[in-house]
């Protein structure tokens, strides 16, 4: 049985990091529910899952003067709806995904220019094709875009009400798409949601489910479609559901699991080596430490930074899923020394961050999905 939730993890300490609230969203026109940010030439570009003029989400930019402006508002239908992943820049244009919308309502890949012109370059078809790319953004490898879908692929594979166990795909900027790999479920992986990384000519990522124990996996994949499962998560006291993918550092793959760990399914930070050896670096404990780290890790020097969606404070302002607290920002070293940098407070500075942090010039930028002055989410910066 899991250990009872602890009031304090003895490796989690307070911090003197400087937190600054940059913007509180109001729904329309900029959007509602901001997720990941991209720093491009000192400007912050991002997406919101809702709001905008049609309530289907938006692309926005925060300018050098601090003003947040909507660039594009998704229309739903054949256009996309509910973008969640980070934008990636290629040739002065941004590319991203929407979870829904498109020809079959299975999600899209889109491009949007800083001027606001947008086009859908690919609509997912479900079935043997992918469907519903969620938090995962795109990466650029040799001029092509690679990403993951949470569903679709092998229609004989089902998880809960999801048809298909997800895919890794490649799409050109002109809209030519290829399914690189279709996940098969247990003991293979299932339902990836985090972004991929490109390391020495191979793609690495994680799946939420599948693996030997059905708690998710870490995988390696060639662009030709040859997959190797590096590690299968075991659940308590190991991690489960590595929602945010992996980050490479010094020969290891580091990441978070939203569930599992030693303290009542509050999640972990882990390290997996290339041969497939894993260790839990930190188990989250709820309040005041944090719980449910959905986002992956951001590396700055030799320190990782991340967020937890819940936990942190013992306040009941953000009660959810049996834990309290509005979430945290934390740092952790490769040896497992963890430090809580900020505990979110709801209306005061935001709540429920679940996208990765973005490294700027000496600071980290991020977004909280909810909270702020009108509970539509916030943008913030933190100087560790």
Conformation bin of residue 121: beta by default, left when phi > 0, alpha when psi is -120 to 50: alpha
User: Does 130 map to a domain?
Assistant: yes
pLDDT classification of 317: cutoffs 50, 70, 90: low
pLDDT for position 8: 32
- Cα 287 from chain centre: 22
CATH code of the domain in which 134 resides: 2.120.10.60
User: Does 196 map to a domain?
Assistant: yes
User: Does 323 map to a domain?
Assistant: yes
What contacts 163, CB < 8 A, 6 or more positions away? 126, 131, 151, 152, 155
What's the pTM?
Answer: 0.93
Q: Are 308 and 292 in contact (CB under 8 A)?
A: yes
Give me the count of residues in the chain.
384
Mean pLDDT of the chain: 91
| Of 115-119, 128-132, 293-297, 323-327, the least confident | 323-327
pLDDT classification of 13: cutoffs 50, 70, 90: very low
User: Does 353 map to a domain?
Assistant: yes
Condensed to tens digits (0 to 9), the pLDDT of residues 208-219 reads 999 999 999 999
pLDDT at residue 336 is higher than 80: yes
User: Does 106 map to a domain?
Assistant: yes
User: Closest by alpha carbon to 325, among 369, 282, 292, 374?
Assistant: 292
pLDDT at residue 353 is higher than 60: yes
Dmax (CA) of the chain:
55
Conformation bin of residue 371: beta by default, left when phi > 0, alpha when psi is -120 to 50: left
Condensed to tens digits (0 to 9), the pLDDT of residues 235-269 reads 999 999 999 999 999 999 999 999 999 998 999 99
User: Does 1 map to a domain?
Assistant: no
User: Does 6 map to a domain?
Assistant: no
What contacts 346, CB < 8 A, 6 or more positions away? 315, 317, 318, 326, 371
pLDDT classification of 4: cutoffs 50, 70, 90: very low
Q: 377: buried, middle or exposed (CB in 10 Å: 19+, 13-18, 0-12)?
A: buried
Condensed to tens digits (0 to 9), the pLDDT of residues 89-147 reads 999 999 999 999 999 999 999 999 999 999 999 999 999 999 999 988 999 999 999 99
Domain that holds residue 164: 12-383
pLDDT for position 15: 62
DSSP state of 310: B
Number of domains making up the chain? 1
Burial 200-226 (b: 16+ CB within 10 A, else e): eeebbbbbbbbbeebbbbbbbbebeee
Residue 364 neighbours by CB distance under 10 Å: 25
Q: What is the mean pLDDT of residues 70-80?
A: 96
Q: What is the mean pLDDT of residues 71-96?
A: 96
Q: What is the mean pLDDT of residues 8-22?
A: 63
Q: What angle do CA 212, 248, 284 make, to 5 degrees?
A: 65
User: Does 27 map to a domain?
Assistant: yes
pLDDT at residue 14 is higher than 60: no
pLDDT for position 2: 36
User: Closest by alpha carbon to 231, among 291, 166, 277?
Assistant: 277
pLDDT at residue 192 is higher than 50: yes
pLDDT classification of 29: cutoffs 50, 70, 90: confident
């Amino acid at each position: 049985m899991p250990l009872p939730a602890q009031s304090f993890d003895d490796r989690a300490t307070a911090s003197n990091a400087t937190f600054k609230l940059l913007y509180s969203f109001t729904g329309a026109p900029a959007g509602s529910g901001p997720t990941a940010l991209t720093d491009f030439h000192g400007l912050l570009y991002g997406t919101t899952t809702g709001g905008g003029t049609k309530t289907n989400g938006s692309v926005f930019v925060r300018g050098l003067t601090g003003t947040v402006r909507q660039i594009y508002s998704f229309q739903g239908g054949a256009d996309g709806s509910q973008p969640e992943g980070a934008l990636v820049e290629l040739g002065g244009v941004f590319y991203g995904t929407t979870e829904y919308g498109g020809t079959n309502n299975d999600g899209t890949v889109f491009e949007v220019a800083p001027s606001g012109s947008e086009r859908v370059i690919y609509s997912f078809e479900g079935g043997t094709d992918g469907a519903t790319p969620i938090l995962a953004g795109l990466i650029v490898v040799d001029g092509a875009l690679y990403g993951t879908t949470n569903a679709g692929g092998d229609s004989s594979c089902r998880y809960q009400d999801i048809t298909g166990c997800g895919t890794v795909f490649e799409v050109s900027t002109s809209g030519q798409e290829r399914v690189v790999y279709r996940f098969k479920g247990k003991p293979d992986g299932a339902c990836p949601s985090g972004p991929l990384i490109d390391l020495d000519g191979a793609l690495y990522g994680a799946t939420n489910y599948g693996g030997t124990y059905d708690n998710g996996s870490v995988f390696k994949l060639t662009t030709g479609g040859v997959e190797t499962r590096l590690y299968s998560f075991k659940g308590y006291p190991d991690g489960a559901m590595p929602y945010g993918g992996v980050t490479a550092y010094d020969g290891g793959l580091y990441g978070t699991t939203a569930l599992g760990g030693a303290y009542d399914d509050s999640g972990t930070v882990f390290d997996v080596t290339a041969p497939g050896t894993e260790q839990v670096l930190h188990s989250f404990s709820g309040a005041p430490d944090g719980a449910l780290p959905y986002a992956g890790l951001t590396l700055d020097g030799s320190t990782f930074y991340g967020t937890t969606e819940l936990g942190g404070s013992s306040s009941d302002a953000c009660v959810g899923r049996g834990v309290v607290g509005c979430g945290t920002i934390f740092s952790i070293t490769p040896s497992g020394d963890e430090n809580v940098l900020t505990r979110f407070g709801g209306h005061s500075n935001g709540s429920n961050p679940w996208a990765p942090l973005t490294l700027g010039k000496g600071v980290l930028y991020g977004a909280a999905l909810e909270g702020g002055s009108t509970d539509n989410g916030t943008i913030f910066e933190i100087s560790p």
